[in-house]
Structure formats: structure tokens, C-alpha cells
Amino acid sequence: MVCPTSDLCVGGCNLYATEEGPINIGGLQQFATEVFKAMNIPQIRNPSLPPLEDMPEAYHVKIALLGAGPASLSCASFLARLGYSNITIFEKQEYAGGLSTSEIPQFRLPYDVVNFEAELMKDLGVKIIFSKGLAMHGMTLRTLKEDGYEAVFIGIGLPEPNRDIIFQGLRMDQGFYTSKDFLPLVAMASKPGMCACHSPLPSIHGTVIVLGAGDTAFDCATSALRCGARRVFVVFRKGFTNIRAVPEEMELAKEEKCEFLPFLSPRKVVLRGGQIVAMEFVRTEQDNEGNWKEDEDQVVRLKADVVISAFGSVLSDNKVREAMTPIKFNRWGLPEVDLETMQTSEPWVFAGGDIGGLANTTVESVNDGKQASWYMHRYIQSLHGIAVSTVPELPLFYTPIDLVDISVEMAGLKFPNPFGLASATPTTSSSMIRRAFEAGWGFAVTKTFSLDKDIVTNVSPRIVRGITSGPMYGPGQGSFLNIELISEKTAAYWCKSIAELKADFPNHILIASIMCSYSREDWTELSKMAEVAGADALELNLSCPHGMGERGMGLACGQDPELVRNICRWVRQAVQIPFFAKLTPNVTDIVNIAMAAQEGGADGVTATNTVSGLMGLKADSTPWPAVGGGLRTTYGGVSGNAIRPIALRAVSAIARALPGFPILATGGIDSAESGLQFLHSGASVLQVCSAIQNQDFTVIDDYCTGLRALLYLKSIEELEDWNGQSPATMRHQKGKPVPRIADLIGKKLPSFGPYLEQRKKIIAENKLKLKEQSIAAALPEKKHFFPKKPIPAIKDVIGKALQYIGTYGELCNTEQVVALIDEEMCINCGKCYMTCNDSGYQAIQFDPETHLPTVTDSCTGCTLCLSVCPVIDCIRMVSRTTPYEPKRGLPLAMNPAC
């Protein structure tokens, strides 16, 4: 929310150079955090740590943190994650969050967000003592030492404003505020739960001048508008290219009609009758050496009713400085801090955030605390004779979700998790499989190998982006097409690799993928070689859709049930380990092939291989991929999300026909959510390829965490209305909640043009009415959601959706639905009207003036409008309240049978 992503990660994103632009990292982080916040799940200690009572003595020492701002919250959180159990934060105010609470406006950083972070920290046992801080009630570094604290972190910020001499003696009742005066007043009046008071917003009227060009200055400017200012001028000494605020802050102020006045330095405040009426400035200029100079001959006078100075902060309270004795201070009056360790001149005292002198943003303060935590850990352990690495190895964030068991058993094999590498490009070599196991993949199927007499040589180009997503380039492809054959490596290489991999990763499942022509001797020889090498199981590739079929292998064997049955019988007689037949979707009925494999003795099947297709032709009729000077191509295998419906159909059809028969699913698995769909359809484990081609092996972290979360959330009764990890959609416009305008004024209004301005005015007036009626708001007491039902295991969800899948004749045609459009969420784009008019049943009327769509009685519930609506849940399908009578065109000649 407040991270300057445009200056940091987004600003440095390499995708800035692409047509789509950089990844919206800040938006993604905010979305993920807000959804997790709504889950109401606690943070827990690292599960690998011993219980608190069994931790070494060094982890029970007393640690104090001064100030409950971002730096201290961060430092305390990481210390607690490291295992320390006696951590106390002393905060002089009655609220946590420091400047993030008191000086960042509610519309930018709501207090419940800051409180959420503090509560997560307290989940680990960190204590916060309010109304007690440095130089209060006799607290000093010396008294903390005497009280037995072995390490202290100072994160008190810079509490006093940097007040220019021309403002000496001016008061708030005269119209003068510093940012340290103004923003806390705004915060206390607008942040529910921050304090028990219900103070009004500062009464700001007329013209406001805000002095400064940092983030704080722009916060003052936008807040002044919300407090009643008619006009706001942001005045600063240098030019626009020297503005220190992040671009997002400046753009917001510009959107809200703040005026910017550069090259002005304040000289005098003009008072009349004890009230501010104007300010005088002199022009500033930059000379040839780059130095800024003030031209006293160029005087500018601006009328103003209020002046807000945002010239930064300082540490000027002598009592606080004395309380920090004996640490040394630098020439700026701040503690001397080692920039790597965050250690002061006193080895047991650390400091970070604003008081460290370098942190200019909230995230930099958070990083200071994070960095300091490791070196505090190092220091404390050294006191107890334990050496700790200088390279930080900070623990991760853990919740009860991380304790969910996602292991699964299939065909007598124990998989640590259900995600594995398909026999494809990700398993081209032994070293790649090794890296995948190290990354956390539960199993791998080797690239298909053959006997030396069937060795292949690939052509190029051979793996190309799909056309199913249109002209989209880069990662995130919806499909790929390949004309790659099986492995170019020998059977001897793969047998040696299998032996080495199993020796190093005994708990990971390694499946050997093999292919032969329709020859009993060949299948017997190759399957025995793989078994002797140590493979946990075999996958019989009976499905490669290109190249191999022309050699009497792959697809040539897999389309005939009799051939599949015989090959499985040969392998069953040759080996003792489990084996699975990999099926092709390029058949009339895949169930018949699966049945043949089962009859032949297979322990299960893999469904499915790629779908045969022609990826695309250029405008000059030449294909892509095009091989050689003749620009020749062939039908290849389509993979990725585009074939997911085909793969789901195959898996569910086999599972319905052969209950309990193990299925290894593959075909469009690119997330935990899509993986769960395959498990629900009857698969036991999941093979992945295209998603790795889009990214890399690290996607396994997302898959495992996501699947654990999906299983855990099934046990939370309070989240029963969620769809997986997605909460129900609130009524909103551009993500902001909106009331029903019709309930407020008795008529509907669209959300564009002049109507949008009317809506804004009506909503603003309604907010004022609600504010007048409100009383002091408090944050609800935090109560975590805990499982009230058993957390399902993988075996519990396998095939869960099969009860809902059947023939068309089993569907009910008397229980109909119709579309319902939420006018408040509608953006009046007309997409629903266009598709219904030209592809549906002409059941939506579109007002030519207001662009408000209305569903008529002609709606047949086809759901096409919902499918093209760009706003999630703006259209819902609800039960029809009148009998459905199809429009037949002409009267029926006879009564229908059903």
C-alpha cells in the first residue's frame, strides 16, 4: 500500500521494456495480503524449532525494543521467528505502528492494516507495553541494562518537526501546522480503533499552502482537501525533477487538483489580526555548478489561510538524547549506526528506521528492523559462546496451513506431495530432475527413452508458443505446441541416472518412461533394465502424437485397445514394480483404452498426453514451426491450459468407469486450484510441464502452499462461502465498496460521464450523514479462525466431483436460472447486451442514454452474458421464479415426450 514500488521492484522490472509493461508487484502483494488477512489465520513459530520450553537458554534472554513503529515491529517479528520468547516493545503512545499509524492517512494505509501486522507479531508471543517509552517514567538505556535486558533495539523515529525559524511562535489557531501536528490530528479523527477518542477532523478552510516535496508533504496536501480546503498549493524549493516523493504520491495529489509551485523558498508569514493571510517567497535558481541560490529580487506573495510545514523531522528532545547515554551521536545529532549490522557504538544497542538516518520510507524502516534482527541474534548467541553465520539466514513466515499433510499413496508408492514433473522437457536430463527434487517436487517421470535401435534425433525449431491466447508474448502462455520426440539420450544413460538419483533422493518417487514398438522382446528388455536401475515405477508411453507413431511406436500402439492390453501384459510379466500406461486423447473413447490397460495388468494410467494439432500458419501460408529450407511442418502436440478441459474429461471419465483405478493426471495443471480440479475429478497425483516452461521449477512452492491452503480452508466454517482461496465479491466500483444509489435517491444511475459525477456527490453526501451519526469506532476484537472440522487429506478429495458428473439425460430441464445484473457494479460497457443480442436470445435491453442493461423475461439462462462480463460477479445466475417455456418458433406438431 505504501511501498514505493515504482522506485523499487516495479521500477526495476525488466518487463518495462515489453508491450505489456512491468508486473504490478505492489498490487499483487496487496491483494494477497488482504485475502490472507480475511482468512484470519494466526502466525505460528517455525515448525522445525523445538517447543519453547526446550529451547536453549540463550533464546530466553530479555530483549527490549523502543517504539512500536515499522522498524521495531519487523525486528521483533524476526527475532520471535528465530525462537526468542522474551521480547517486549515499549511504546509511548496508546497505539502501535508509529508514523505509519499517526502520519500516513487512512485512505492510503488504514489502521486495521497496521494493526493486522502487529497482531501477527503478537501471535508469536511478543508483548507491547503502551504509554511507556524512552525518557518516560525514568526509562533509559542504563535502566534497561540494570533490568536485565541483554539487547535493545531503538526504533523511536524522529519525533520532533524540523521547524524553520520563520515559523517560530506560530500556533495552530493562527492557521499554522507542522506535519507532526496536522497528520496525527487527521489520523485520530479518521482511523477507527487507533484511539478511544472521537475527535473531529481539523477544520481547514480557504487556501492551504503545503511546504515541502516529500511523501509527507503530499500526504498533508491530499489530507487538507479532505478536511475542507478549497485550494491546496504544494510549494517547494527546487524543480519537478527534484521532487523526493514517489510518483504515486505526486500523481494522486495532481488527480485531486492540488497545484504545484516549484522554485520558491519561504521568506515570511504574513499575519493580519493574529491570523495567517499570506506567505512571501523568493525565487530559487540553479547555477552552472549545480548549486541552488535564492534571488532576493524575485519576491512572490501567495494568499493563504493555512500553512502546513513538511520540512522533515529531527531528534531534538534533550531528555531522549540523555536517555540514550552512553551511545555516540553523529554530526546530524543521530546515533552512530553501522549500516550493515545496525549496531550502535554500544554493542548491545541497535537502531533502525528514521532514527538510523537513512530510512526514508516505511519499507526501508521494515528492512532496517529485519537486518538488525539477525545481528542481534548473532550478538546474543555470542554472549552464550555460540557462533552464528554473518550471512543472514532469517526464517520464513509460517501458519497452521504449513502443517497440512499433502502426501499421498498410490499403487503402493508414498508421494511426499502430489506434484511431479511430466515426461517432457523439464526432465530432459538427470541434472534437471535433481534440481527439481531439490526445489521440492514430489516425483518425476523421466523423459521417455528407448532401446538404442530406436534412438531419435530431433529437428528444430520444435517447441513454439500457442495461438490460443492471441498475440501474447512472454511467460503465461495458454498453450504450447511441440514436435519434439522422445529423449535423444540412451537407455544406458537413463538407467545410470535413475540409480544415482534414487541413491541421493530415496524418498522421492522416480518413474521411468519407456517406449518401444509393438514387440514383446523389446518391452521386456527395456522394462527390466529400468527396474534393475532402481526406478520406483514405469510409465509406458503409448501416446506420443507425432513422429513416433510413424515408426510403429507411441500413438500407433496407444490407439488400439488390443495392442495396449498386450503390451501391458508383457510388462506385467517382466517386472514386479508398478507401471502406468500413458494414454492419448487422440482416440474416440479413452475409457476403452484405460480398460484395456487395466485388463493387461497396469497399476494405473496417465491421462493424457498432448492433443494432436496444427499450431498456426503465417499470412504467407508458411507454417510455424517451419523446419529446414523447405519450411516443412507436421502435426504436433498441443499442451498447456488450452487442453485442460480435454484432460479433465478424460480423467473424470476413466475415474467414473474404473473406480479406484489410479490416475496420474496431466494436461493444463498450472496452479494449486487447477490441480485440485484434477484431484476432484479422480486423479491421485499430478504431472506438470507447460507451467514450468512458462516459469521454472520454483512454481512448486506456490503449488504446495496453495494446495495446503485449499485443504485447510475446507475445515473453517466461517469461510464456507469462499470459493477456494477467493472470498465472496463485495459490491464495488474499481475495488471500492459502493452503496445502492437507488436506495439513496430512488432511481438508478450509471457509472460514466456526468452520471459518475452525480454518483460521487451522492455517495459523499451519504458518507457525511453516516459520519454525523457515528460514534467512536473500535476495531473488532481479533479472533482467529480455527478448524472445526477435520482437515481433509489428499485421499479424501480424490474423486469428490464425480457425483456431480453424468450424462446429459441426467440433467434437469425444469430447474432454470436467469441472469441478474448488479447495477452498482456495472460499468455500463454493453458487453452483455452485445453478446445476448447477436449470439443469444435478445433478452437484455440497453438504455441508449444511461447505458444501464436490464434483463427481460426472455432470458433463457444461457449464461453467455456472465461469461463475457469484465467485472467479476457483476452478473449472477439466480433461480427462475416463473415457468420456463421455450420459444419454438412454430407450434409443435405433437407433444414432447419429456
Distances (CA, A) of 503 to 438, 494, 496: 14, 14, 11
Which residue from 586, 516, 153 is spatially nearest to 368, judged by alpha carbons?
153
β-partners of residue 89 are 65, 128
Task: Answer for the pair 65, 89: CB distance below 8 angstroms, yes or no.
Answer: yes
Distances (CA, A) of 288 to 221, 237, 285, 291, 292: 33, 17, 10, 7, 10
- Quote the CA–CA distance of 858 and 842 in Å, as a whole number: 7
HSE on the CB side for 609, CA within 13 Å?
Answer: 31
Which residue from 643, 634, 703 is spatially nearest to 675, judged by alpha carbons?
703
DSSP string, 627-695: BTTTTB---EEEESGGGHHHHHHHHHHHHHHSTT--EEEESS--SHHHHHHHHHTT-SEEEE-HHHHHS
Measure the N-to-C terminal CA separation of the chain; round to a whole number of Å: 58
Task: Answer for the pair 250, 346: CB distance below 8 angstroms, yes or no.
Answer: no
- Quote the CA–CA distance of 337 and 278 in Å, as a whole number: 42
Task: Answer for the pair 45, 124: CB distance below 8 angstroms, yes or no.
Answer: yes
Q: What torsion, rounded to 10 degrees, do the Cα atoms 97, 100, 103, 109 define?
A: -120
The SS3 assignment for 521 reads helix
Rg (CA), the chain: 34
Q: Is 826 a catalytic residue?
A: no
β-partners of residue 817 are 879
Q: Are strands 313-314 and 160-161 parallel, antiparallel or unpaired?
A: antiparallel
DSSP string, 321-353: HHHTTTS-B-TTSSB---TTT-B-SSTTEEE-G
Task: Answer for the pair 538, 512: CB distance below 8 angstroms, yes or no.
Answer: yes
Buried (b) or exposed (e) across 341-378, using 16+ Cβ within 10 A?
bbbbebebbbbbbbbbbebebbbbbbbbbbbbbbbbbb
- Quote the CA–CA distance of 753 and 259 in Å, as a whole number: 24
Strand (E) or helix (H) holding 853? strand 853-855
The SS3 assignment for 250 reads helix
Which residue from 448, 461, 639 is spatially nearest to 539, judged by alpha carbons?
448
Which residue from 532, 524, 455 is spatially nearest to 498, judged by alpha carbons?
532
Return the ∠ at Cα 327 (arms to 324 and 333), rounded to 5°. 80
Which residue from 565, 560, 619, 570 is spatially nearest to 590, judged by alpha carbons?
560
Which residue from 436, 438, 406, 424 is spatially nearest to 672, judged by alpha carbons?
406
- Quote the CA–CA distance of 607 and 602 in Å, as a whole number: 14
Q: Which residue, chain included where needed, has cell 432511481?
A: 747
Name the grid cell of 202.
481539523
DSSP string, 765-834: HHHHHHHHH-----PPPP-----SSPPPPHHHHTTTTGGG---GGGS-SSS-EEEEE-TTT-----HHHH
- Quote the CA–CA distance of 652 and 650 in Å, as a whole number: 6
- Among residues 544, 557, 704, 869, the one annotated as catalytic is 544
DSSP string, 587-632: SS-HHHHHHHHHHTT-SEEEE--PEEE---B-TTS-BSS-BTTTTB
Catalytic sites, residue numbers = 544
